[in-house]
A and B are shown apart, each in its own frame.
Chain A
Amino acid sequence: MTKSRIRNNIRKLRFHCSEMTQQQLAEKVGVTRQTIIAIEGDKYSPSLEVAFRIACVFAVPLEEVFQYESADPEARE
């Protein structure tokens, strides 16, 4: 089975965005603070819609927020 993971830069982006708190981001995205904590800690992969909403809050492209990391060497090439 190919193990894959989605990494994110939310913590860094929050810091560069006037040190936005998790609560502020959660309110802007429309999810709970617990969900932001889970996403930041790679414990939850959000839906495409929430992922786009997070990218919109920081005004950056989606791939700047989330990166797909595959364990399959062929997929990396």
Chain B
Amino acid sequence: MNLSYREQSIWGSLAITLIVYGYYFATVFSGAQPSQIDRTALARLIGAVFVIVVIEIAYHILIALKSKVEPKDERDILIETKAYRNSYLLLVADLFMLMGTVVVFGLTPLLTVNLMLLSVVISEIVKYLTQLFFYRRGI
């Protein structure tokens, strides 16, 4: 399958997000939940974000060397706009559900922060999947 630079970029970002945040959330939700945001939890969170940024930069340099980088055109922008719409709607729904959960169950600050991050990650994944869908199926 011959993929354009933009599709390679999206596939890569999707894989990196799934692997790094998958590992992060598996680690976070597998152990006992501390009630407060301690140094370990903060270091883990910042570490995950740092690792994502470093791998993303390295990956994009690699594919830029291998494929021709083309500026976004109207189709790319249209697809991106639709992807952001889906992502935004899901994020808003997620955050409202999270607000209700916090009020009803009285979640700890650390768990609340992690669930908020999970909402952001899920909406990001939906954005990538929407883009891949429209690039393949057409728009």
Q: Using a CB–CB distance below 8 Å, which chain A residues touch chain B?
A: 30-35, 38, 41-44, 46-47, 50
Contact = CB atoms under 8 A, between A and B. Distances in A.
B39 interface: no
B73 A38 contact: no
Given A34-B75, A46-B74, A47-B74, 15 more contacts: A31-B75, A32-B75, A32-B76, A33-B4, A33-B70, A34-B4, A34-B6, A35-B74, A35-B75, A38-B75, A38-B139, A41-B138, A43-B137, A44-B138, A44-B139
Interface residues of A, dominant DSSP: loop
Interface of B: 4, 6, 70-71, 73-76, 135, 137-139
Contacts of A43: 137-139
A28 to B, nearest CB: 13
Given A41-B138, A43-B137, A44-B138, A30 B75 contact: no
A38 B71 CA distance: 17
A8 to B, nearest CB: 13
